[in-house]
Structure 1
Amino acid sequence: MLRDTIKSATITSMKAGDKERTATLRLIGAKIKDRDIELRTSSKEVDDEALVIEVLQKMGKQRRESITMFEQGGRTELAAKEQFELAVIEEFLPQQMSEDATRAAIEDIKTALGADSIKDMGKVMAELKARHSAELDMSKASALVKESLT
């Protein structure tokens, strides 16, 4: 289970004395715990593995956006810190689909749904997310779906 893998990586990192990695792993653990607390009041049941992957994907997206902003602002030291955190986060994420595999998945879904215009983008995106959310960056996939439907 991914949650246990992160906990054991945190312990290993602490024992090794790797402060930066330990801090990032603790941050991941804290975000997962925050999400658990949010869901206590929710009535819908969420798969634990999906919850952890969702948290990691969100953290990764935030880091990528920060890296871009820091690099544009000339703050390379902050961009490097974010890059390190992103690398640690991505260690625990499932392997991302290649662009070709993403395009193939989009074409399969378009065929299955009979989607042929930009009006069908919502349906295609919903099905793509249902089938492949763990291994896709949905913002990149959205651009590919839009390109495919126009």
Structure 2
Amino acid sequence: MILDQLKNDLTVATRNSDVVCRDTLRLLLSAINYKKIDLGHDLNDEEVLTVINNEAKKRRESIDVFTKNNRPELAASEKAELIILETYLPRQLTREEIEIEIEKLDLPNDFGQAMKIVAPLFKGRADGKLVAEIIKSVIQ
């Protein structure tokens, strides 16, 4: 289970005095606990991955903001946390892999209908914005 792995890795990071990893995992476990309370049941691996993905997305957005506002030290800190979070996520598909998969499908010309077909196929395996961008280019 991913949750057990996170807890074990937190223990290892604490013993090794790896402050960045320890703090990142603590924040992640806290977010998982909040989601558990919100849903009212223990999270399965898919739900835990969703929380990890949400936390990674927050880090990516923060990196963009800090980079645009010329705050490289804060961007570097967020980048270090993002690297740790990404170790728990499945490998993301590349743009080329997504394009190949989408081109195999017979998609309607309506973007909304195309997204309804494609989004479930790539859930958790690719960034939704990237998938939407590729769909727009394919149906035009």
Answer whether TM exceeds 0.5 for this pair.
Answer: yes
Of residues 103, 108, 111 in structure 2, which corresponds to 1:107? 103
- How far apart, CA to CA, are the structure 1 residues paired with 2:71 and 2:27? 22
Q: Percent identity?
A: 27
| C-alpha distance in structure 2 between counterparts of 1:61 and 1:93, whole Å | 12
| 2:50 aligned residue | 54
Aligned to 1:136, which of 126, 133, 136?
126
How far is the alpha carbon of 1:47 from its aligned partner? 6.9
C-alpha separation in 1, matches of 2:63 and 2:54 = 14
Matched residue, 1:20? 20
- Counting matched residue pairs gives 140
TM-score, normalised to structure 2's length? 0.91
Once the 2 structures are TM-superposed, how far is the Cα of residue 132 of structure 1 from its aligned partner? 2.4
Give the aligned partner of residue 38 of structure 1. Answer: 38
* CA root-mean-square deviation: 1.8
Q: Which runs of 4+ in 1 moved over 4 A?
A: none
Give TM-score scaled by structure 1 length.
0.85
Determine if contact 1:66/1:79 at 8 Å carries over to the other structure: yes
Q: Is the 8 A contact 2:66 2:72 kept in 1?
A: yes
Q: State the AA in 2 paired with 1:116.
A: P
In structure 2, the CA distance between the partners of 1:135 and 1:148, relative to structure 1 (3 Å rule), is same
Q: Following TM superposition, by how much is the alpha carbon of 1:129 offset from its aligned partner in structure 2, in angstroms? A: 2.9
Shift of 1:19: 1.4
Q: Does residue 76 in structure 1 map to residue 66 in structure 2?
A: no
Partners of 1:74 and 1:10 lie apart in 2 by 32
Gap runs ≥5 in structure 2: none
Deviation at residue 80 of structure 1 after TM alignment: 0.7
Contact 1:24–1:85 under 8 Å retained in 2: yes
Counterparts of 1:12 and 1:47, CA distance in 2? 23
CA contact under 8 A between 1:106 and 1:124: conserved in structure 2?
A: no
